[in-house]
Amino acid sequence: MECERPILHHTKNMNLSSISAFCSKPQTGLLILRVAAGLTMLLHGIPKFIGGAETLSGVGKAVAMYGIDFNPLFWGILAALTETVGGVFIMLGGVCFRAAAFFLSFVMLTAILFLKPEFSLAAFGGYAHPWMMLWVFVALFFMGPGEYSLKRGK
């Protein structure tokens, strides 16, 4: 999708080519998406650690639906680490970018399934955030970190 040029009547002080250049920078958009998604996950992971063992154990109980019902504290710590450290890797776009996107996708899928949604419009508000973030991380996994990252290129 391209930016449309604004209709301007007085363009003496504006450089239309610079506006057009800004609007045609998909790498800038990818950077903004990475930072927003990574920061969102970082801010979701930190409170889990602040909540302590009880909060982490509650989070870790989500994997019981996969038949993993031992040591929920460990699984909660793993989920919180994935959100915090994975969020930082997504923001920076470095070496572990695709691994972070993969594991964050799995955490989001687990969150969706744990919420046991009815998959109806009325219930969508309960799982809309993890649903959206799941697809953001799947897309980032395939797109790569982009040009503006610690690991430049694809």
Q: Looking at the chain, how many residues does it have?
A: 154
Strands (E), the chain: none
Q: Which residue has the higher pLDDT, 16 or 31?
A: 31
Cβ distance 110 to 63 under 8 Å?
yes
Report the predicted TM-score, pTM, of the whole model to 2 decimal places. 0.79
Q: What is the pLDDT of residues 99-132, one digit of tens each?
A: 999 999 999 999 888 876 666 666 676 778 899 9
| Integer Cα distance of 120 and 117 in angstroms | 8
Share of the chain above pLDDT 70, in %: 78
Phi first, then psi, for residue 73 (nearest 5°) are -60, -45
Of the candidates 28, 25, 33, the residue with the CA atom closest to the CA atom of residue 2: 25
List the Cα angle 55/91/142 in 5-degree steps.
100
In DSSP terms, 153 is beta-bridged to 146
Per-residue confidence (pLDDT) for residue 118, from 0 to 100:
65
